[in-house]
């Protein structure tokens, strides 16, 4: 049997299956702690605090029973970093097999369909799903980031081409701030607030959206090395939480738990700002395989 950085193909598939289970059933500690801190900031006994209490109870029950945190287990998005010498097609096949097993084990809901006929894909494997992005690197190990992206929050994502005259948003940091806040205002509670923003500035339309989504693999407490983006992230959370939208749109002080942004170069004719909205069920996990050992983050 072939080896993948020290583990068998069977062990790799089982490790990917466990990654899906953990991502679906247990939120990262940084997310849970952020929700708990937000709960303490809300007015005691308010609808906002009660909503966060329900969310925390939901998180506890899902982890205890090893069941999906949300009935919408969402788009299954893998970012795979792998060393030279491994075949993408082999890794893709094993990951898809893990997704099939995860669906059979009820870690994932079978919610993928053909967009034309409406025909369901009972095993969650179809054209373009799961979404798997490969990146070969110079390290000697594999790292896989997994995000489960619910449809409700996906629907309230937004992309703007600056200048955007409706808001008086020009091609500068102030213009970026205007459209980011506009995306939050338009989302209201429909994205299952409190949310997390991924912000991508630059590139073409596809690159900009992809850049914004890749920000979702970052931890809430990290610090952006780009001071301009670090300021944007802090500003976005503070300004959004002053809107009064609150958990699930019921009002309150917690509209966002975090915001993460990045920039890539673009051609002068285009200036895109993409905002990916993630719901409170910030299902994000990572796995590394090195020297025959599997570690989960």
Same-domain check for residues 101 and 179: no
Same-domain check for residues 287 and 146: yes
Same-domain check for residues 8 and 137: yes
Q: Which residue has the tokens 């870690």?
A: 107
Laid out side by side, the sheet with 283-290 consists of: 131-136, 75-82, 142-149, 283-290, 293-296
40 within some domain: no
Greatest Cα pair distance in the chain: 61
Numbers of helices and strands, H then E, in the chain: 8, 13
171 within some domain: yes
Domain CATH number, residue 120: 3.30.1330
Q: How many domains are contained in the chain?
A: 2
216 within some domain: yes
Q: Residue 249 contacts by C-beta under 8 Å, 6 or more apart in sequence?
A: 188, 189, 190, 193
Comparing CA positions, the residue from 271, 167, 177 lying closest to residue 229 is 177
Residue 64, CA distances (Å) to 26, 59, 71, 103, 110 in order? 9, 9, 16, 19, 22
Same-domain check for residues 202 and 231: yes
- Full pLDDT tens readout for the chain, 297 residues: 467 888 999 999 999 999 999 999 999 999 999 999 999 999 999 999 999 999 999 999 999 999 999 999 999 999 999 999 899 999 999 999 999 999 999 999 999 999 999 999 999 999 999 999 999 999 999 999 999 999 999 999 999 999 999 999 999 999 999 999 999 999 999 999 999 999 999 999 999 999 999 999 999 999 999 999 999 999 999 999 999 999 999 999 999 999 999 999 999 999 999 999 999 999 999 999 999 999 999
Structural domain of 265 = 153-278
Task: Give CA–CA dist 24/102, Å, rounded.
Answer: 10
Comparing CA positions, the residue from 136, 142, 176 lying closest to residue 159 is 176
Say how many CA atoms lie within 13 Å of 78 toward its Cβ: 28
Same-domain check for residues 20 and 8: yes
Same-domain check for residues 140 and 287: yes
Same-domain check for residues 258 and 122: no
Same-domain check for residues 13 and 128: yes
Q: Are 264 and 211 in contact (CB under 8 A)?
A: yes
99 within some domain: yes
Secondary element (H or E) of residue 64: helix 47-65
Same-domain check for residues 15 and 136: yes
246 within some domain: yes
CA angle 13, 19, 21 (to 5 degrees): 105
Q: Give me the long-range contacts of 165-173 (CB less than 8 A, separation at least 24).
A: 171/271, 173/228, 173/232
pTM, rounded to two decimals: 0.94
181 within some domain: yes
């Amino acid at each position: 049997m072939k080896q993948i950085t020290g583990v068998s193909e069977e062990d790799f598939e089982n490790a990917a299956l466990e990654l899906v289970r953990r991502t679906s059933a247990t939120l990262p500690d940084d997310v849970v702690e952020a929700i708990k801190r937000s709960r303490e900031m809300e007015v005691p006994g308010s609808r906002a605090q009660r909503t966060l209490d329900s969310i925390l109870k939901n998180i506890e029950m899902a982890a205890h029973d090893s069941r999906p945190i949300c009935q919408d287990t969402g788009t299954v998005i893998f970012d795979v970093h792998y060393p030279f010498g491994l075949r993408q097609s082999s890794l893709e096949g094993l990951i898809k097999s893990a997704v099939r097993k995860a669906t059979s084990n009820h870690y994932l809901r079978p919610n993928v369909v053909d967009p034309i006929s409406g025909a369901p894909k009972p095993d969650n494997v179809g054209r373009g799903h799961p979404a798997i992005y490969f990146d070969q690197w110079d390290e000697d190990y594999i790292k896989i980031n997994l995000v489960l992206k619910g449809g409700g929050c996906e629907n309230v994502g937004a992309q703007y081409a600056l200048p955007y005259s409706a808001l008086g948003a020009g091609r500068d940091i102030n213009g970026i701030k205007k459209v980011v806040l506009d995306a939050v205002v338009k989302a209201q509670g429909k994205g299952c607030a409190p949310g997390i923003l991924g912000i991508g500035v630059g590139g073409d339309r596809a690159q900009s959206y992809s850049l914004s989504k890749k920000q979702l693999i970052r931890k809430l407490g990290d610090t952006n090395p780009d001071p301009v983006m670090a300021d944007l992230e802090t500003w976005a959370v503070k300004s959004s939480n002053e809107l009064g939208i609150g958990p699930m749109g019921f009002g309150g002080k917690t509209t966002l738990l975090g915001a993460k942004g990045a920039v890539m170069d673009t051609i002068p004719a285009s200036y895109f700002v993409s905002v990916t909205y993630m719901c409170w069920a910030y299902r994000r996990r990572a796995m590394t395989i090195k020297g025959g050992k599997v570690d989960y983050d």
